[in-house]
Chain A
Amino acid sequence: MAELTYRDAVAAGIAQEMRRDPNVVFLGEDVAAAGGVFKATVGLLEEFGPKRVRDCPISEQAILGAAMGAAMTGLRPIAEIMFSDFLAVCWDIVANEMAKMRYMTNGQTAMPVVVRTANGAGSRFGAQHSQSLENWAMAVPGLKVVAPAYPADVKGLLAAAVRDNDPVVFFEQKSLYPMKGEVPDGEHYEPLGKAKVLRRGGDCTIVALAAMVHRAMDAAEVLKREHGIDATVIDVRSLVPLDTQTILTEVARTGHLVTVEENPRLCGWGAEIASIVTEECFWDLDGPIVRITTPHIPLPAADALEDNTLPSVARIVETVRTRID
């Protein structure tokens, strides 16, 4: 086991796949010579050269269009969209083209492409550089959607995304880039579509994603220590495919479900999980499902404002303590 930051795990994951398969190529804005604006791709240009690691103009449609055309004709591109908010300017390529091509053509086309993007809040960047947009991708049939919380999962799930033959939107939570964690030595691969139970308790099940996983874990500690509430925490990791079996099993065992979502309230991924749980294990529930989300507002920039919009450890603790009893 080596200790890597979340950011170094990105470069390690890309490098692992580029060493393994000469058809893996990487493109984006400032990704090669500059090593990425978040320094998550440092060293790739030096190791793999300018033919495989390519800087692009500020042309998100061209970047993703080029990645798609290359994916349809034999390459396995990894494309970076610097901030997930910028997906709005190239969403046509993601939602209308990459996602639908195989189905529309009766299975003729291959689409092994990964769209990596820095997602989420915590950096005081304001409403156009801090959004949590996994739900946009989750709503489009034909896209796989991954959002890791730990460096080991960054590397392992990125490997799975690159080897997958379908388009994968890979959301990296930008406030986690400096976070350190153990990453297995040698080749590391984690299959898509498997949620991870991080701790088991008998009183409630907290389901979280990306940065919210860490807050859920911290909240679970406080709940146990100060309130005698023993929570299960699940890291969803992959929204599509969604590991509903792990979630249903744990909710049935604990009788309570709380989701912790960084996204604004409406149509968050937690709503879909709440709907599935209601339909499929309603009689195992001992109380209402509770969703903890960012309010339905554009994110404010100032640290005091941003901190008070995102679900915090204190809010999770308070919500669980008062609603789950």
Chain B
Amino acid sequence: MSAIPRAKKPTFEIGRETRLELYRLQLELRMCEKRAFDLFLQNLIKGTSHLSLGQEAIAAAFGVAMRPDDWTFCTYRGHAHTLARGVSMASVLGELMGRECGLLAGKGGSMHLTDVERGVMGSYAIIGAHLPIAAGAAWSAQYRGTQQVSVCFFGDGTTNIGAFHEALNFAVVWKLPVVFVCENNLYMEYTPIGAVTAVPNPAGDRAAAYGLPSIVVDGNDADIMYETAVTAITKAREGGGPSLIEARTYRHSGHSRADPAKYRPAGELEEWLKRDPVPTYRERLLRLGVSEGTLKGIEDDTQRKVDEATAIAKASPTPSLDLIDKDVWADGSTAWRN
């Protein structure tokens, strides 16, 4: 396993307001995911769920860097990326809980969060599938000249599936405005990525195969991620084609809620907790002169919003059974015969 890229200073100035938003958003993703975990323990969330605890800097940085009409494509580990586009916590928690107020009224569940109005074009639960789909959306933007950009998030394990290769090659040949973001959290489900991958940097070392520069960055540093996001999105928007980014990060919990992550070597989690993106960013803001009171205000406000969202989701009824027979087809029906 290659060394974690060291944090370095961004090459351009990030304004105070942007930094506060990066902090607020990381905090929202953290608190909302923690709340989701609590709700599992209370058996209010059924099925499976994959948390982004520890990986928030990546989703938050792209959320701040993207234009409102840009598109997000995420995996089954997509709560954070969905929230980062401004989707309400109540609708995300409601979906996880299978309630009427859920983003998909309970029809999709944790692994399929989608909000077309806010550019969240789906969470995809089959590894690799959404890379070509994100490329297709980018093709549509290119064809129509809208300068929209597709951003596609996926894990390190995805770099070993065929769709990854097909999509990268396709996007480069067609010079599509798409940004591929590999969140390398060191584990493909339960197995260390290094044990099943031919190269040390699963995405970065593959970039050359598509004529792309290798970009391996510290995914736990919101400033570095923001700069990386702005650079890649700008390149795509200006017709420069796709980018492949490998963001090094760490999953604080297991692969899914069924996984206690006992395969991790002793001390690894503790090492990474020292690099936890949320408290380290807080320390940076204090060093940069942001007052304790300002940060405390953001924290209290976010906690209150999480509590309110939880209350809304808990109070929401279960979905109407009428939904079972709706929306297979564009006419709203499920009819397959006359």
Point out the residue from B116, B137, B166, B173 that lies within 8 Å of A70, measured CB to CB.
B137
Instruction: Enumerate chain A residues within 8 angstroms of B136, measured Cβ to Cβ.
Output: 65-73, 77
A235-250 vs B, CB cutoff 8 Å, 1 = contact: the mask equals: 0000011111100000
Question: Considering the complex of A and B, which 5 residue pairs feature the smallest CB-CB distances, nearest first?
Answer: A69-B136, A65-B132, A165-B330, A66-B136, A107-B327
For residue A287, CB closer than 8 A to chain B, the reply is no
Measured between alpha carbons, how far is A291 from B224 in the docked complex, in Å? 65
Point out the residue from A65, A92, A102 that lies within 8 Å of B329, measured CB to CB.
A102
Q: Are A62 and B330 in contact (CB under 8 A)?
A: no
Interface residues of B in 297-328 (CB under 8 A from A): 323, 326-328
Instruction: Enumerate chain B residues within 8 angstroms of A93, measured Cβ to Cβ.
Output: 129, 132-133
For residue A156, CB closer than 8 A to chain B, the reply is no
For residue A319, CB closer than 8 A to chain B, the reply is no
| Interface band, chain B | 35 or more
* Contacts A57-B173, A69-B121, A106-B105 supplied; 12 other A-B pairs, CB < 8 Å: A61-B132, A63-B132, A70-B143, A73-B136, A75-B140, A75-B143, A96-B126, A104-B114, A107-B327, A112-B330, A165-B329, A165-B330
Q: Are B107 and A57 in contact (CB under 8 A)?
A: no
A116-143 vs B, CB cutoff 8 Å, 1 = contact: the mask equals: 0000000000000000000000000110
CB distance from A302 to the nearest CB of B (A): 33
A45-71 vs B, CB cutoff 8 Å, 1 = contact: the mask equals: 000000100101101111111111111
For residue B167, CB closer than 8 A to chain A, the reply is yes
Instruction: Enumerate chain B residues within 8 angstroms of A77, measured Cβ to Cβ.
Output: 136
A-B contact count (CB 8 A): 165
Q: Are A70 and B139 in contact (CB under 8 A)?
A: yes
Most buried by B among A102, A104, A276: A104
Measured between alpha carbons, how far is A70 from B103 in the docked complex, in Å? 23
Q: Are B143 and A62 in contact (CB under 8 A)?
A: no
Measured between alpha carbons, how far is A193 from B329 in the docked complex, in Å? 14
Q: Are B143 and A96 in contact (CB under 8 A)?
A: no
Q: Are A72 and B137 in contact (CB under 8 A)?
A: yes
Q: Are B121 and A72 in contact (CB under 8 A)?
A: yes
Instruction: Enumerate chain B residues within 8 angstroms of A101, measured Cβ to Cβ.
Output: 122
Measured between alpha carbons, how far is A105 from B122 in the docked complex, in Å? 8
Known contacts A57-B169, A61-B166, A142-B328; A106 and B104 CB within 8 A of each other: yes
Measured between alpha carbons, how far is A57 from B135 in the docked complex, in Å? 14
B36-80 vs A, CB cutoff 8 Å, 1 = contact: the mask equals: 000000000000000000000000000000000001000000000
Interface residue ranges, A against B (CB under 8 Å):
25, 51, 54, 56-57, 59-75, 77, 92-93, 96-97, 101-112, 141-142, 164-166, 193, 240-245, 276
Instruction: Enumerate chain B residues within 8 angstroms of A68, measured Cβ to Cβ.
Output: 132-133, 136
Q: Are A74 and B144 in contact (CB under 8 A)?
A: yes
For residue B207, CB closer than 8 A to chain A, the reply is no
Q: Are B133 and A244 in contact (CB under 8 A)?
A: no
Q: Are B135 and A62 in contact (CB under 8 A)?
A: yes
For residue B138, CB closer than 8 A to chain A, the reply is yes
Known contacts A62-B132, A107-B332; A92 and B143 CB within 8 A of each other: no
Q: Are A105 and B107 in contact (CB under 8 A)?
A: yes
CB distance from A125 to the nearest CB of B (A): 24
Measured between alpha carbons, how far is A65 from B130 in the docked complex, in Å? 7
CB distance from B90 to the nearest CB of A (A): 16
Most buried by B among A56, A75, A106, A109: A106
Q: Are B170 and A69 in contact (CB under 8 A)?
A: no
Measured between alpha carbons, how far is A193 from B126 in the docked complex, in Å? 31
For residue B10, CB closer than 8 A to chain A, the reply is no
Q: Are A92 and B126 in contact (CB under 8 A)?
A: yes
Instruction: Enumerate chain A residues within 8 angstroms of B331, measured Cβ to Cβ.
Output: 165
Measured between alpha carbons, how far is A96 from B140 in the docked complex, in Å? 21
Instruction: Enumerate chain B residues within 8 angstroms of A64, measured Cβ to Cβ.
Output: 132
Q: Are A166 and B122 in contact (CB under 8 A)?
A: no
Q: Which residue of A lies closest to B119 (CB)?
A: A73
For residue B195, CB closer than 8 A to chain A, the reply is no
For residue B150, CB closer than 8 A to chain A, the reply is yes
Instruction: Enumerate chain A residues within 8 angstroms of B115, measured Cβ to Cβ.
Output: 108
For residue B108, CB closer than 8 A to chain A, the reply is yes
Measured between alpha carbons, how far is A164 from B140 in the docked complex, in Å? 18
Known contacts A101-B122, A105-B107; A166 and B329 CB within 8 A of each other: yes
Q: Are B143 and A51 in contact (CB under 8 A)?
A: yes
Q: Which residue of A lies closest to B336 (CB)?
A: A240
Q: Are A102 and B327 in contact (CB under 8 A)?
A: yes
Instruction: Enumerate chain B residues within 8 angstroms of A242, measured Cβ to Cβ.
Output: 336-338
Q: Are B338 and A243 in contact (CB under 8 A)?
A: yes
Instruction: Enumerate chain A residues within 8 angstroms of B143, measured Cβ to Cβ.
Output: 25, 51, 70, 75
For residue B112, CB closer than 8 A to chain A, the reply is yes
Q: Which residue of B lies closest to A54 (CB)?
A: B174
Measured between alpha carbons, how far is A276 from B338 in the docked complex, in Å? 12
CB distance from B108 to the nearest CB of A (A): 4
Q: Are A69 and B133 in contact (CB under 8 A)?
A: yes
